[in-house]
Amino acid sequence: MGSLVLEKITARAIQATKRIVLPESQDIRVLQAAQEITRLGYAHVILLGSRQKIEANAVEHGVCLAGVEVINPAEDPATETYIERLFQLRKAKGLTRERAADLLKAPVYYGGQVVADGRADGMVAGSMCPTADTIRSSLWSVGTAEGCRTVSSCSLMQTIVPEIGVDGAIIFADTGVVPEPTVEQLSDIAIHAGECCRALLDTEPRVAMLSFSTKGSAHSPSVQAVIDATKLAQTKRPDMKIDGELQLDAAVIPEIAKAKAGASDVAGKANVLVFPSLSVGNICYKIVERLGKATALGPLLLGLAKPINDLSRGCSAEDIVLIAAITAVQADALDKVQS
């Protein structure tokens, strides 16, 4: 993603000086990313595992880990505290203390506790573990943001159409988590995708709730769900520009917006697109990426109390570097909101 947007994100990451944990240190791509993140100054990197094994693997593959912190859960004084915390959180659901200890042997679960404990500002995981484990680790460590009951995701799309979004960059949601969102969930997705837009694109979000209908041009239960979710999101966040239901062309093309949508703060100039289902969102982001020659970063997790982001198991070291920079910027934005 060679773009002005990415240059701004990485410059902000450098200024933020955040601590990002990369738990899957047995993956050489993670070690390569740790080296590059440190070299570029995007974040202070924390790896999990045996320092001896990590350094031996790094030497074997020609990776320099100077300046990278290593936490070994087998020797970490906080391990017992993390086990007890997880046990207390989940014991009502049948989790035993022994099972909590076993879970925390998995790096992604331990990494979540490191973030919850404030030793790291965010986590990037998933190069070796499934998305379900990354999400579960997040919920059982940092939990959801205040007032949010929905964990969802978005993708940052850098398109080749500079007049769209911010220099061609636009947020798609949900692209990876909630298959058939309820009205309540869809409203949460809209709000948190808007907040992600503000954090990453450094601009006021204009959130379009997409459908195959624009302002009553068609009727169906799925259209009504988008209408209801739009109204609910507007009620929850009257300060955020959210409009729907809108067809894609009415959301991003001013001339079509005038003809189809009338007066709107969003139509024709949306920088966040909220899809009515995961099927639609996931298919659309891959079409835009593969056929439209866009670059897709994500899915980035939304709705969490602290930034934890998922990776595709087919990711490259470069992908990890960029997601780490994004996570650092998200952490910095969260600090500014809370201060």
| Domains of the chain in sequence order | 4-143+307-338 (3.40.50.10950), 152-295 (3.40.50.10750)
Mean pLDDT of 161-181: 95
Q: Is the pLDDT of residue 2 over 90?
A: no
Look at 82-86, 227-231, 335-339 and tell me which has the smallest mean pLDDT. Answer: 335-339
Q: Which residue has the higher pLDDT, 149 or 123?
A: 123
* Predicted local confidence at residue 332, as pLDDT: 96
**Average per-residue pLDDT in the chain?**
95
Q: Which residues pair with 19 in a beta bridge?
A: 44
* Predicted local confidence at residue 1, as pLDDT: 47
- Whole-angstrom CA distances from 294 to 170, 174, 288, 328, 335 are 10, 17, 6, 23, 31
* Interatomic CA distance for residues 170 and 271, integer angstroms: 5
pLDDT interval class at 8 (50, 70, 90): very high
Helix (H, G, I), strand (E, B) or coil at 231: helix
Report field, pTM of the whole predicted structure over 0.85: yes
Retrieve residue 270's tokens: 């949306």
Q: Is the pLDDT of residue 102 over 50?
A: yes
pLDDT interval class at 159 (50, 70, 90): very high
- Contact between residue 100 and residue 83 where contact means Cβ atoms under 8 Å apart: yes
Which DSSP category does 295 fall into?
A: E
Helix (H, G, I), strand (E, B) or coil at 6: helix
Q: Is the pLDDT of residue 260 over 90?
A: yes
* Predicted local confidence at residue 190, as pLDDT: 97
* Predicted local confidence at residue 299, as pLDDT: 84
Q: Which residues pair with 300 in a beta bridge?
A: 154
Query: Which H/E stretch holds residue 296?
Result: strand 295-302
Retrieve residue 21's tokens: 């944990």
% of residues, the chain, pLDDT over 70: 99
Which residues does 18 contact at the CB level (< 8 Å), separation at least 6?
Answer: 43, 44, 121, 122, 327, 328, 331, 332
* Interatomic CA distance for residues 111 and 138, integer angstroms: 9
Q: Is the peptide bond before 299 cis (omega within 30 degrees of 0)?
A: yes
- Contact between residue 230 and residue 195 where contact means Cβ atoms under 8 Å apart: no
